[in-house]
Amino acid sequence: MSFLGAGTYTATICADGTPGTSTYQTPVVSTRTVTSATTLNVAMATAGGQAIIPRPS
């Protein structure tokens, strides 16, 4: 998240469900507090994706 400016942000994360389960096609939406020093580790499904929307806290 090094592209963020100084301060804290609330990141809304929209991700695929767990591959191989019926919830796979149901997006998972979560939030977490991030800064420019935060590293997000993501697991991506085949042909899946994620969207992360940071907003200043």
Question: What is the reported pTM?
Answer: 0.77
Contact 50, 40 (CB under 8 A): no
The pLDDT of residue 44 is 77
What is the arithmetic mean of pLDDT over 20-26?
64
Tally of domains in the chain = 1
Q: What are residue 12's DSSP bridge partners?
A: 31, 53
Indicate whether 1 belongs to any domain.
no
Indicate whether 37 belongs to any domain.
yes
What range does the domain containing 39 cover? 9-56
Indicate whether 3 belongs to any domain.
no
Between residues 8 and 26, which one has the greater pLDDT? 8
Task: pLDDT band for 28, please (50, 70, 90 cuts).
Answer: confident
Indicate whether 26 belongs to any domain.
yes
CA distance 29 to 1: 18
CA distance 40 to 30: 13
The pLDDT of residue 38 is 97
The pLDDT of residue 47 is 73
What is the arithmetic mean of pLDDT over 27-36?
92
